[in-house]
Amino acid sequence: MADSSSSSLPGPLPDGIVPPEVVDRTEKRWVMAMAVMLVVMMAVIIVTGITGALHPSSNVEIVDPQSIHLRGEFVESNLGTAVETDGSVTVRIVAETYAFVPHCVTVPAGAPVKFRLTSADVVHGFLLPHTNVNTMVVPGFVAEVHTSFAAPQEYLMPCHEFCGLGHHAMWAHVSVVPQERFANLSPAERTTCARH
Ligand code: CUA
């Protein structure tokens, strides 16, 4: 945008020197731009909050945290690693103060793995370093993450959302084993930390 005040600037300045008037004008424009962005972002948060549309971005799937232990896919007998008919693997974990249930799961390397997590109480976090697995686990919602592991590895990670006094002691353990080894494990062995 042309600015008539620029014509009143002093003559050419040495290379690299910006006239103070130009600095002032540019700063004011940036402040205005930042203020507009701030207002827009605050408006989005307020509107989505009021309309109930504010969800974790990973997966908008609602679950009743008070009944997850009683019915549905997160009952205790259904937790852990399950092999689907297409050869992929689904892992279901409940996060609660201060543990992941089950606290250790075994998955095969080289196969699609889907993690489905929910919380029984407060916000927890689930992260496997150097993978795309990094999600908040929010009560009332199912967090779903799709990934696969190229090679066998052990992942040991703490909950990464502060959830209370026992937060530092809340760990998940994901053991990635070769496909042949995984195939020989019983369903119970895939859902425990038993040595295998
Ligand atoms: Cu769970 Cu921090």
Q: 95 Cβ partners below 8 Å, 6+ apart?
A: 101, 117, 118, 119, 120, 124, 126, 137, 159, 170
Which protein residue has the closest C-alpha to ligand 1 atom 1?
124
Q: What is the mean pLDDT of residues 96-115?
A: 92
Closest ligand 1 atom to 163 CA: 2
Closest ligand 1 atom to 124 CA: 1
| Domain boundaries, given as residue ranges, for the chain | 11-50, 76-191
Class of domain 76-191: mainly beta
Paired strand residues for 177: 108
Instruction: Flag whether pLDDT at 195 surpasses 60.
Output: no
Measured CA distances, 157 to 99, 100, 160 (Å): 12, 11, 8
Residues with CB under 6 A from ligand 1: 124, 159, 161-163, 167, 170
pTM of the model: 0.70
Closest ligand 1 atom to 168 CA: 2
Instruction: Flag whether pLDDT at 5 surpasses 60.
Output: no
Q: Cβ(62)–Cβ(42) under 8 Å? A: no
Closest ligand 1 atom to 167 CA: 2
Rounded distance from Cα 161 to ligand 1 centre (Å): 5
At residue 133, the pLDDT reads 87
Rounded distance from Cα 157 to ligand 1 centre (Å): 11
Rounded distance from Cα 182 to ligand 1 centre (Å): 29
At residue 1, the pLDDT reads 47
Rounded distance from Cα 117 to ligand 1 centre (Å): 13
